[in-house]
């Protein structure tokens, strides 16, 4: 017998990939330069040169048999030490290699964190607008995703609702800043308010409510944006990171989980991750990429294009009359749908070969997501077409 759960999932088509496929079709029909595809969140800049130099060095260093071996549980000590040192230097934290566990990117990091702090049947709470895949990540852990509705004016955390919804069945709260899909970066005041909520509710229910901080866009923060290191404000934090965006390596599957050393059961949690790897099939982050990281951290791609694109789009769209919260980071923004009619808007957008994603899948109806991880000349040439959508 086959597993009907996954058969049923086939019905839940991924609208983002459908739109991206449509964009490909249009590229073939009208030429790639005439399609303005803002659907997919894949980095548009290449990895830094250091990545390829490090790969070259590894090959030249020559010990091929060692290079491809299994790593110790949780990853190479030198890579984990580099990560801890980098975090401590930049954020004044006190991680050691023992607090870090290497993973196959953010999806796997979240998978480990959720399974470690929530048992099947418990709830994991997050805030809209949120990443559309969370539903499946949480389901995979056997838990129920509870989504606090968006504050649609600010796209900030809706604390009034969060206080009401955080009941004793919530094992963990999942946060993503800089945010996909909104580009929102939660400021220090917001993170302090969240820490207060979690501290009070943990005391009320007599248990640690963990904060799972999904940070694949941590390095993509724009000028003058207050972007606190979340783990510094709440001890029971598990940081989930990926090099998919900061080093433009989404296909290589490399990231880590970092447990705040002051968290309840910090050491036990890291040991548990090794067991979760065994059972979830996510074991063994790629060793070559761990070795590359050990050579190049804290290097990143040149991420400046995302801010350039954000400014161009934000300035033009607001001038034309779109309502949009200014993004502080990542490579997304979420304007409101002018007039509020999704179908009419999507038709008009597609007629203009502008491909954007409806906000519904991100639990933020009435909005659309723009992924501006595209070449800047494409953004510039798209602006006239956005005018047509009003």
CB 150 within 8 A of CB 364: yes
- Considering only 85-93, 105-113, 163-171, 315-323, which stretch makes contact with ligand PLP by CB under 6 A? 105-113
Residues 51-90 that bind ligand PLP (CB under 6 A): none
Using CB under 6 A as the binding rule, whether residue 39 contacts ligand PLP is answered as no
Residue 65 burial (C-beta neighbours within 10 Å; 0-12, 13-18, 19+): exposed
Residues 169-208 that bind ligand PLP (CB under 6 A): 176, 180
CB 297 within 8 A of CB 275: no
133/323 with CB nearer ligand PLP = 133
Nearest approach, Cβ of residue 131 and ligand PLP (Å): 4
Using CB under 6 A as the binding rule, whether residue 329 contacts ligand PLP is answered as no
Using CB under 6 A as the binding rule, whether residue 41 contacts ligand PLP is answered as yes
Tokens matching residue 372: 């501006």
Whole-angstrom Cα distance, residue 60 to residue 153? 55
Q: What is 84-99 written as a DSSP string?
A: HHHHHHHH-----GGG
CB 353 within 8 A of CB 39: no
Residues in contact with ligand PLP, counted by CB under 6 A, come to a total of 13
Whole-angstrom Cα distance, residue 129 to residue 156? 9
Nearest approach, Cβ of residue 61 and ligand PLP (Å): 28
87/389 with CB nearer ligand PLP = 87
- Considering only 85-93, 100-108, 345-353, 380-388, which stretch makes contact with ligand PLP by CB under 6 A? 100-108
- Considering only 104-112, 184-192, 231-239, 351-359, which stretch makes contact with ligand PLP by CB under 6 A? 104-112
Nearest approach, Cβ of residue 244 and ligand PLP (Å): 3
Q: Which of 19, 36, 214, 371 binds ligand PLP (CB under 6 A)?
A: 214
CB 329 within 8 A of CB 361: no
152/244 with CB nearer ligand PLP = 244
Is 240 in a helix, a strand, or coil? strand
Backbone φ and ψ of 215, nearest 5°: -125, 45
Which is nearest to 172 in space by CA: 257, 99, 236? Answer: 236
Which is nearest to 249 in space by CA: 241, 239, 259, 257? Answer: 241
Task: Give first-to-last CA distance, the chain, whole Å.
Answer: 52
CB count within 10 Å of CB 232 equals 15
Using CB under 6 A as the binding rule, whether residue 126 contacts ligand PLP is answered as no
82/105 with CB nearer ligand PLP = 105
Using CB under 6 A as the binding rule, whether residue 364 contacts ligand PLP is answered as no
146/350 with CB nearer ligand PLP = 146
126/158 with CB nearer ligand PLP = 126
255/335 with CB nearer ligand PLP = 255
Tokens 């001038």 belong to residue? 319
Nearest approach, Cβ of residue 216 and ligand PLP (Å): 5
Using CB under 6 A as the binding rule, whether residue 220 contacts ligand PLP is answered as no
According to DSSP, residue 184 is labeled -
HSE value, Cβ hemisphere, 13 Å, CA-based, for 319: 10
Using CB under 6 A as the binding rule, whether residue 215 contacts ligand PLP is answered as no
Residues 248-267 that bind ligand PLP (CB under 6 A): 250, 255
CB count within 10 Å of CB 308 equals 13
Helix (H) / strand (E) element for 173: namely strand 170-176
128 to 167: interface string for ligand PLP, x by CB under 6 A: ---x------------------------------------
Tokens matching residue 315: 């300035």
Using CB under 6 A as the binding rule, whether residue 361 contacts ligand PLP is answered as no
Which stretches of the chain bind ligand PLP, using CB under 6 A? 41, 105-107, 131, 176, 180, 214, 216, 242, 244, 250, 255
């Amino acid at each position: 017998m086959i597993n009907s759960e996954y058969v049923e999932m086939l019905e839940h088509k991924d609208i983002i990939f459908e739109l991206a496929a449509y964009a490909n079709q249009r590229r073939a029909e009208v030429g790639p330069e005439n399609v303005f595809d803002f659907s997919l969140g894949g980095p548009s800049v290449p990895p830094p040169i250091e990545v390829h130099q490090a790969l070259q060095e590894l090959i030249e260093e020559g010990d091929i048999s060692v290079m491809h071996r299994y790593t110790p549980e949780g990853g190479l000590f030198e890579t984990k030490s580099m990560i801890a040192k980098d975090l401590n230097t930049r954020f004044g934290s006190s991680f050691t290699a023992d607090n870090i566990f290497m993973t196959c990117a953010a999806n796997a990091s979240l998978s480990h964190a959720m399974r470690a702090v929530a048992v099947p049947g418990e709830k994991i709470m997050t805030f809209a607008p949120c990443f559309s895949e969370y539903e499946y990540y949480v389901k995979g852990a056997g838990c129920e995703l509870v989504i606090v509705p968006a504050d649609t004016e600010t796209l900030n955390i809706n604390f009034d609702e969060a206080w009401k919804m955080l009941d004793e069945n919530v094992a963990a709260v999942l946060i993503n800043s800089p945010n996909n899909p909104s580009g929102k970066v939660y400021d220090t005041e917001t993170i302090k308010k969240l820490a207060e909520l979690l501290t009070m509710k943990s005391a009320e229910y007599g248990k640690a409510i963990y904060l799972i901080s999904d940070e694949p866009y941590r390095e993509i923060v724009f000028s003058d944006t207050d972007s606190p290191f979340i783990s510094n404000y709440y001890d029971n934090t598990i940081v989930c990171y990926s090099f998919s965006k900061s080093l433009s390596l989404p296909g290589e599957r490399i990231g880590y989980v970092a447990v705040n050393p002051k968290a309840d059961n910090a050491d036990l949690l890291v040991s548990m991750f090794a067991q979760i790897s065994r059972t979830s099939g996510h074991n063994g982050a790629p060793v070559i990429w761990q070795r590359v990281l050990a050579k190049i951290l804290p290097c990143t791609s040149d991420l400046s294009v995302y801010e350039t694109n954000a400014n161009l789009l934000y300035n033009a769209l607001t001038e034309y009359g779109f309502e949009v919260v200014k993004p502080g980071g990542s490579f997304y923004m979420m304007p409101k749908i002018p007039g509020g009619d999704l179908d009419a808007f999507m038709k008009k957008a597609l007629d203009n070969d502008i491909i954007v994603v409806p906000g519904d899948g991100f639990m933020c109806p009435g909005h659309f997501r723009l992924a501006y991880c595209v070449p800047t000349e494409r953004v510039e040439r798209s602006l006239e077409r956005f005018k047509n959508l009003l």
